[in-house]
Structure formats: structure tokens, C-alpha cells
């Protein structure tokens, strides 16, 4: 597994946080992900780490997010 593999996902009223297996935490504004921003806390808490823990899937929302993409997001073309 690479250093960008996740081990846990958390959300608060402003940020999506992903704890990585190497001890780092990535935090990005929840507003970057309109699908997640509109979702309930229960829906956000129901996720699965996919692709050797390098991605996150919210099956009930039909939404997938690459952990690497969280670091490389283009502010003009935010994650959909």
C-alpha cells in the first residue's frame, strides 16, 4: 500500500477528513464535494475504502473519491 492509502473518513460541518495509514490527515472543504455536502451524516459515515484503500466509495450516494484527487483538486473544476 502507498502512503495515500486511507484508514478512516470523518466529516464535520466544514471539512472532509481522511486519516491515512502513515499517520497524516488530509482535510478538504466539504463544499468541494456537492454530493457529500447535501448528504446526511449517516450517509457520509457509510463509506467503503476501495482500490487498496486509495479511494472512498459512498454506495448509497453513488459517489467515489480518489484520495490522491483530494490533493490535486483543480479549484476551477472541483470534484463532482
CATH at residue 25: 3.30.2020.40
In a domain, 80, yes or no: no
| Residue 80 pLDDT > 50 | no
Q: How confident is the model at residue 18 (pLDDT cuts 50, 70, 90)?
A: very high
Q: pLDDT tens across 35-52, in order?
A: 999 999 899 999 999 999
Q: Where are the beta strands (DSSP E) in the chain?
A: 6-11, 15-20, 25-29, 48-50, 55-58, 63-66
The length of the chain, given as a count of residues? 80
Range of the domain at 19: 6-71
Number of domains in the chain: 1
Within a domain: 65: yes
Q: Which pLDDT band, with edges at 50, 70 and 90, does 71 fall under?
A: confident
In a domain, 78, yes or no: no
Residue 77 located in a structural domain: no
Amino acid at each position: 500500500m502507498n502512503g495515500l492509502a486511507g484508514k478512516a473518513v470523518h466529516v464535520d460541518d466544514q471539512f472532509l477528513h481522511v486519516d491515512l495509514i502513515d499517520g497524516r490527515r488530509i482535510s478538504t472543504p466539504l463544499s468541494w464535494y456537492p454530493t457529500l455536502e447535501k448528504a446526511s451524516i449517516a450517509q457520509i459515515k457509510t463509506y467503503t475504502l476501495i482500490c487498496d484503500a486509495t479511494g472512498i466509495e459512498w454506495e448509497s450516494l453513488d459517489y467515489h473519491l480518489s484520495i490522491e484527487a483530494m490533493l490535486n483538486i483543480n479549484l476551477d473544476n472541483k470534484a463532482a
